[in-house]
Chain A
Amino acid sequence: MQAEETIAEACPASEANASIPGGTASGDVKHEWSEAALAACVAMLLSACGGGGSDREAEAKLSAGGVRFQPELLPRTPGERQLAMAARIPSATEFFDWAQRQFPALFSSQESDRTAAGGLVFRFFPGTGNYLAVLDGSVLVLGPLTQGQVVNVGTLQSFADAVGSGASSAKPSTDADAARFLLHAQFSASEAEIAAVKTKGYAAWLDEQLALPNSQSGWDWMVSKGYSAIDVNEYFFASGTYQFMVWFQLFQSPDAVRRRWAWALSEVFVVSWRGIKDLMNWDSFAMTEYWDMLCRNGLGTYRDLLEAVTLNPAMGCFSSTRGNLKEDSATGHLPDESYAREVMQLFSIGPYELNLDASLKRNANGQPIETYTADDVSNLARVFTGYNQDYSRPRFASPKSPNPMVNHIESVRGRMVFDGRNHSLLEKKFLGTAIPAGTLGPESLRMALDTLVNHPSTAPFLCRQFIQRMVTSNPTPAYVQRVAQVFNNNGSGVRGDLKAVLKAILLDDEALNATTLSSSTFGKLRSPVLRMAQWARTFKAKSVYGTWKMFLWDGNPAQDANQYPLNPSSIFSYYRPGYVPPGTAMATTGATAPEFQIVNESSVAGWANLLQGFVNKGVWVSAPNQPGFASNASDGHDIVPDYSAEKALVTTPQALVDRLNLLLCAGQLSAATVQLIVTALQADRMQANATDDLKQIHVARALMFVMCSAEYIAQR
């Protein structure tokens, strides 16, 4: 009998090997359950092989609970225990999925999950005749494996970290799951990438991506396109050309994960073009350097990133660190406090003390506890004195009348320079740290940044936002805590390992499991920039003239989706991490949904119109044949998509929509929506011999449906 053979093979009488009988001993799941299960097998080995009996009998047996087996399933070390406690309790379905992945010889050819009275949930595996069940949070096993006895092998909680950590070695079982992961991690999902993730597994694929070298810098691209030229175009004054570079990188950089992460960082560590364009020469290169800095440092340590952000020239201008002078008792001048306030409020510790799961700490009166006072701000402000752009290189006169003097382009690159004469040597007391009077600038900075990095609120404050940027707007506290723990210690004693943090976010069970996928509250709105980047990459958009002059601004309200890259209205970004849209279902539970802050009656229509404007023939560009802003006889569709694969499907609307559903939505369009779109497309009555133009616009219409569907815009 099949089950008997399995047990006989699997349970050698005298062996106490550490692997599951017949199970897949994946090296990283040394779970004590294996030993317990083995002991159970050995204990019952020579008894007659009784099956589970009929389903009804099995149900009844399971519902009656089981003999408590008492294996010690909780991990041993306090650290592991803490990790285990933080792990989310898996659902019954997740547990069953995990068990059959781990022990396929014991649980094979599943049937679908069933429920019975009393809250019992169970899954039967006809291949082995075993049942797995969950009742009142405990896991029960019944079948040949347990000799017909119902055995209670422990609580779901006790399996939590095993099930959770198992995800990192997991592979998506469906194309949709693979696409879902890809769309969390980068901008788009292609058939080849879906296949690669399925083959390699989530973690291995991600590791490969994170190991890719940092691709061409924005600075080099800008130079190659002619924007460092010194001519009458005066690219060194209030030039929006940096935005071309950003779009090019979002659309084309091969290290897409790194760029997606840099984009996320740009929404947290904000510099906005409109805030510097009139205050810096070579503002476009200043913005470019800021972007490059995020790309260079985004996968390093937070400490390094924070220092790079602090000393970045564009940030210096934006937050008034540039040229910030020490106190002057004669005039009463005091250092500017902008960056000191912002670096605490926005870039590190946040305004209120947080627990590791980002919940507010409260004082004895139940009130939140402020992390910093106005005094802390004033003191910290002294640290950020003495810095300025590097003006050491010679200026030049603009070739255009009235020939104003212009700073050297290198003055916006790299780091601000320090001049001790302008640095405050007063004592600086903030956040419980005291930087002694007389401490020199670089040491003051080091101590100040270390203080911010090591503050206990920093990890949860930032990690909750990082999760919001990448995966879901209202993560569970447990998810935040798991990621924050990695921030605090990547496993090798390193704090602020951003690569590890990103991996923790993308590979977390909450990002990958089926429960959140079907949850009505999980996920985030795709922001307009991400929608456009997805379109460009999915359909291999190319700039005919290679100039990539894509530009979004607020000058055309009818096509305004309310988001302009690297140009939010303030340092508070396009939207606030704590935003709860009023009058919505989210408001009744206080669920944060930042991207809704740019959603209103104008911008939803603006998106539809914007999309309609480029989805057929591509983005219309003025003077695509030359750099800069101009208009000439070459005006036309320059950033054009490749819909050849889609055009081949115009006579099979179901196949077309299924394809778009997979690639753009990771299969998240409901069957009803798919049906609506398929039916709607049939109105075009497409024929195989239709003109290419007709096929193109038909595909464009299909894309309008998909990319204006709320099930696309809300990404899970």
Chain B
Amino acid sequence: MNIHEYQARDLLAAAGVPVPRGAVARSPEEAESIARSLPCNSFVVKAQVHAGGRGKGHFQDGYKSGVHLVKTPHQVKTVASHMIGNTLITHQTGPEGKPVHAVLVGESTDIARELYLAIVLDRSSGCPVIVASQQGGVEIEAVAEKSPEAILREVIHPGLGLQPYQARKVSIFLGFPSTGLRAPCRLLHAAYRLFIEKDCSQVEINPLAVTKGGDVVALDAKLGFDDNALFRHKEIQELQDPSQEDPRDLAAAEHHLNYIGLEGNIGCMVNGAGLAMATLDLIQAAGGKPANFLDVGGGASEEMITAAFRLLQGDPAVKAILVNIFGGILKCDILAQGMVAACRTTPPRVPIIVRLQGTNVEAGRKILKESGLPLLPAEGLMEAAEKAVAAAGKKGK
């Protein structure tokens, strides 16, 4: 689950990580009054969307950049009035962009050094790991590629937590003088506590700035949360912003479908995550492009299958649908009944290719055949993918 920058900033501040002064505004007037309350003579106004690359982005109406540096509260108001209610397009949002409903107004910081700091989970050791580098403000992947020695990875013992000596080691690596380790160490402990307490999947502070005055502050941060642990974090769940999500993803979540919207034109409905992934691979091997990843799970009900169908049919990009089911616990005849019922309530708009295999497959195929619905059967995996690609292509011409 993703949250806005201002929400991440508030969580960090509450955990004890220093952040620049500022607050979120939902109107130009509010933005101006926040600026007036800040004791500084230079302000940053940042559009709040769930995407990176804001500084280099542009708005739907041509207004440049989602991050502005201005001198007066009046200018803050002007910038905010351009941003709020507008749509920001960056290299991460796709061409349709993301709506801006709020801006973060903050003091601008005199930066002496920009560092990188993150806490993530190391899969192979099964431990949290602190990732630190003096080369902040750029993507860490780029640093890892060019100069891996500029990155420190400090593995944390899951039973003991972050130890003081480890915080000192990371701080020294980040270039803090041995007489000035208190502030960075305190910040590291606070960030680690946040990571553990909120079941984060990542806490990424980039850049972590050292100001000309010698303070350490988190200038920008990205927090990620473990979806499996949200049940014990109502306060995090409440931070969700539906306006930033793909509407197809929202509809899928409502019906507990495991769905990811993609760019192609072949809708997929599959049981099992691995098989769903392999089905996307098959479609591309056959020369097509999938419109989505959709795993209906092992125990899909008739309601879920109907909802899945409606979702695929409702996507204007979808030109053909490929249903790929290996009936294990979910029996093929039950699935076939569900599909027939779904097609009766929502008549098929595009060709549907069905590949069934496994438990009660003969009974399932019989139900589909006798339904009189225009469903194209396929037996082999590659055959199914090729039929779907051909059907989508024909429709497109």
| Chain B binds chain A | no
